[in-house]
Amino acid sequence: MEGLLGIPAQVGGAVKMNAGTRFGEMADALEAVEIFHEGAFRIYTPAELGFGYRKSHLPQGGIVTRVKLKLKERPLEEIRKKMAEVDAARKGQPKRKSAGCAFKNPPGQSAGRLIDERGLKGLRVGDAWWPWSTATSSSTWAGPQPRTCWSFSGAFKRNSPWSWNGRCGREFGKGSPSEARMGFVRLLLASLLLATLYVASLVLFPVEEVEVVGLKHLKREDVLARVGLHRGSLALGGPFPSRPPPAGPWVAEARLEKPRPGAVRLVLRERTPFLPLADGSALAQDGTLLPGGAPWAQGPRVEGRGPLPKADLLALARAFPKAKRLRYTPAGYWVEGEGLTLFAPKARFLLEYAQAGAPLREGHIYLYSWGVSVGP
């Protein structure tokens, strides 16, 4: 690893470009590389990654997550001597923040010599410049964008067409994809900020207008009083609930909306009365008891004594849609229509009779476990 002394890189980037110097490169010290790719982790050997001069063949889009290095144990003084040798050989490299080497050496030649021959040391493009101390490293003083570094390296090719001729490739990839991703991230963050400010404006403004949508039988004032919603109720700093407090048995669903700052909309879905009861209330289709709902109920009237058998009554009303009245007592159930009365000690006998499609004729029909009795 001593040969990598002074190279500005992180482990993942060093593996990707096989960073190195004439004293050694990253691939020399690798035993295994863990890469996250397409939703899974996999361990690769250096041979599988096709390392070459400043290049590798990592899976497209793969992310280096861990590496295993093969280090050789040597005396401390020997290691320090090697590090000093590498450091001395790189004295010409910039000691300040830099982007590292930018060009590969063409076969048998030096990229630094080609740059020096054209007198391009000291060239500046935007916030990037080429130091006088070296011909292969680019330095920065204000953290240039990837686009600047790409344009900067391109300036050398434009100023030295005869000496490049495609022989000196860049050591780094074009920065525009990364920059595009960063632009997308900035746009996303700005959108989140605007959305947060908008939501905050909805919450922080006091309520000046309250709208109720979906009323059929309930009165607006009664609903607002029950949920505790009124002008100024969601004042500065108060939380804005997505669901209001329960608005009573008549309301099946309710939600709060804020269409604009200072306005609140309460959206309701009322239950529909189905079976009218003798006390003036009604049963909804889901069995909820609706106080005062009898005048709007369209199903057969219910009369009886004892605990209210909601499930049985609802099932009978659906099985006999033309029934006018349903009665229940501890003795059983009656289904009454035009000139027709059916009785059974259990509701299931009546339901089975309806499911069988038996004819309904005028008179009295009595259903028992042992059979059917018909009377005038």
Q: How confident is the model at residue 290 (pLDDT cuts 50, 70, 90)?
A: very high
- The pLDDT tens digits for 309-367 are 999 999 999 999 999 999 999 999 999 998 899 999 999 999 999 988 877 778 899 99
Residue 200 domain flag = no
**What CATH number should be reported for the domain holding residue 87?**
3.30.465.10
CA angle (237, 264, 236) in 5-degree steps? 15
- Supply 271's token pair: 């239950």
Neighbours of 103 (CB within 10 A): 25
In this structure, the answer to whether residues 21 and 84 fall within a common structural domain is: yes
Q: Any idea which of 222-231, 234-243, 247-256, 310-319 has the lowest mean pLDDT? A: 234-243
In this structure, the answer to whether residues 46 and 64 fall within a common structural domain is: yes
For residue 79, is pLDDT > 80?
yes
Q: Any idea which of 29-43, 52-66, 117-131, 240-254 has the lowest mean pLDDT? A: 117-131
Residue 188 domain flag = no
Beta pairing class for 325-329 and 301-304: parallel
**Residues above pLDDT 70, as percent of the chain:** 67
Q: Rounded mean pLDDT of the chain?
A: 77
CB burial string 152-164: b at 16+ within 10 A, e below:
bbeebeeebeebb
In this structure, the answer to whether residues 277 and 266 fall within a common structural domain is: no
Q: CA separation (Å) from 25 to 77, 99, 112, 204?
A: 22, 18, 19, 59
Model confidence pTM above 0.85: no
CA 20 – CA 47 distance, rounded (Å): 17
- The pLDDT tens digits for 94-106 are 555 565 666 666 6
In this structure, the answer to whether residues 139 and 150 fall within a common structural domain is: yes
In this structure, the answer to whether residues 261 and 282 fall within a common structural domain is: no
In this structure, the answer to whether residues 44 and 9 fall within a common structural domain is: yes
Residue 309 domain flag = yes
pLDDT of residue 135: 46
- CB of 37 closer than 8 Å to CB of 45: no
pLDDT of residue 286: 92
Residue 240 domain flag = yes
**What CATH number should be reported for the domain holding residue 126?**
3.90.78.10
In this structure, the answer to whether residues 170 and 252 fall within a common structural domain is: no
What are the backbone dihedrals phi and psi of residue 357, each rounded to the nearest 5 degrees, phi first?
75, 25
pLDDT of residue 175: 45
Owning domain of residue 145: 95-174
Residue 236 domain flag = yes
In this structure, the answer to whether residues 27 and 52 fall within a common structural domain is: yes
- The pLDDT tens digits for 129-167 are 556 455 444 444 444 455 555 555 565 555 554 444 444
Q: How many CA atoms lie within 13 A of 148 on its CB side?
A: 17
- CB of 313 closer than 8 Å to CB of 283: yes
Residue 193 domain flag = no
CA 28 – CA 26 distance, rounded (Å): 5
- Count the domains in the chain: 4
Tokens 């059916």 correspond to: 342
In this structure, the answer to whether residues 75 and 140 fall within a common structural domain is: no
In this structure, the answer to whether residues 289 and 339 fall within a common structural domain is: yes
Mean pLDDT of 63-73: 90
Q: How confident is the model at residue 176 (pLDDT cuts 50, 70, 90)?
A: very low
Residue ending a domain, choose from 174, 189, 215: 174
Residue ending a domain, choose from 253, 270, 287: 270
In this structure, the answer to whether residues 68 and 156 fall within a common structural domain is: no
Residue 186 domain flag = no
**What CATH number should be reported for the domain holding residue 238?**
3.10.20
For residue 238, is pLDDT > 90?
no
Mean pLDDT of 115-122: 64
Higher pLDDT, 192 or 111: 192
In this structure, the answer to whether residues 235 and 291 fall within a common structural domain is: no
Residue ending a domain, choose from 74, 91, 108: 91
Residue 184 domain flag = no
Tokens 């110097």 correspond to: 21
Q: Which of 349, 345, 339, 338 is nearest to 376 (CA)?
A: 339
